Structure 1
């Protein structure tokens, strides 16, 4: 399992872990019964049944016959989380504009638990679809969003994340040593934007710019596409300008909101 940055390890509650493991499985499987859940999670049927009853009572799950699924209450939670991010509407508008202008995939991400969480995503008319979707996470060291945010975080937080993250090789081009990553972050900070040169997905390049409010890094905005279209000239001279302009619009609206 990939080690992630976060609170220091300490006492945890087994029953809470089981409950969230159930939710994770239901998110992937749509609906599933007690026997299958017990087998997949390695717990007794009675243990799983008790957790399912509790989650159903709290209206997190819905029982349909002998199976369970996540309830629509999850959507209400997701909406609340989204609205906690300041100027979400402005961010969404800029992500959509960026996708329309470039014809590619545009995304906005924030750092959570030492990884990148996607807040917004839009798809242009020439875009090559990727597996990322709103609410999912990606490694921070192999994505342009992640490296961009890291480059502009306070040094203490940046070091905390880098030193506690396993630099897993995602492609042959992924940075896998901390020394190399720190060098990349220094370059990113100097030029004002970050890149992913087929480091997370082979054949896909990405460029992103930080979105800040004063010294605070709110997140980063990016545009991604196939390396065949993301030539070096377009990558560094054209698309880097697009993402920096989009970031500037979000920053101005945040500053004066």
Structure 2
């Protein structure tokens, strides 16, 4: 079994890395066949077949016709991982209340490998439906253009933020997206001062959000809570004062519940 790794860094298994790339290909292509995987990863068809069959035999993929797709075993593993998170356990009831109070989408988000991951999402009564919100919980977000992501970045040490920027960059989603490093750090300082972050059409045109960070008893950031909705509904005092107050209150309640249970 071949091992790889940067000089001076930890050694890794090449076969596991390749298996991870195969799984990424299955997701990106919404299911994949042998020939398609061969082209996607630039490997022989026989090697592609072996990888797909191995993952199938281990319960991670299922074959439907001539294509391989994710097995529901990932659902079991994902639910287990999510349920281990105190951010999810203690945040879930609070974002449900927040959705009822604001009538908009609410989210619990955590940072992993420099991306934002949606742990939980609730639809409010007047929330706008669409594939955007469905896809959001199935993908990772860059942190610099979402309110939840910027709230997390503001709570992280500058060195960690620098590393995330180096790894993930600052790609533009809209004309309003912050793509300049210095401008981002200026924004993060403002977020620290007021306690919450804005996304003002920076991720998608016509859409706004407010997010606040959540920390554990040691001060380490666990993630954030946010509310998002169309600009026609999140405007004026609603956007500048009312929703930010509700979001920060929810973040505070989640923190208190986490901290109290950590000490019990």
- TM-score, scaled to structure 2: 0.86
- CA–CA separation in structure 1 for the residues paired with 2:233 and 2:247: 16
Deviation at 1:81, TM superposition (A): 1.2
Aligned runs of 1:1-257 on 2, under 5 Å?
13-129=13-129, 130-131=132-133, 132-214=135-217, 215-257=219-261
Number of equivalenced pairs:
250
- CA–CA separation in structure 2 for the residues paired with 1:176 and 1:114: 16
Instruction: Call closer, same or farther: CA 1:22–1:160 in 2, change over 3 Å.
Output: closer
Whether contact under 8 Å (1:150, 1:158) holds in the other structure is yes
Q: Which runs of 5+ in 2 are unaligned?
A: 1-7
- CA–CA separation in structure 2 for the residues paired with 1:93 and 1:193: 20
What are the superposed Cα offsets for residues 204-253 of structure 1, whole Å, 9 maximum, x if unpaired? 11001111123111111000011111113211210001111111111111
Deviation at 1:72, TM superposition (A): 1.8
Q: Which runs of 5+ in 1 are unaligned?
A: 1-7
Deviation at 1:134, TM superposition (A): 2.8
| More divergent stretch after superposition (55-64 vs 113-122) | 55-64
What are the superposed Cα offsets for residues 30-87 of structure 1, whole Å, 9 maximum, x if unpaired? 5433223323333221010110121122111123443322212111210121022115
Whether contact under 8 Å (2:87, 2:222) holds in the other structure is no
2:136 match: secondary structure: coil
| More divergent stretch after superposition (204-213 vs 62-71) | 62-71
Whether contact under 8 Å (1:87, 1:253) holds in the other structure is no
**Aligned-pair Cα RMSD in Å:** 2.1
- CA–CA separation in structure 1 for the residues paired with 2:92 and 2:136: 14
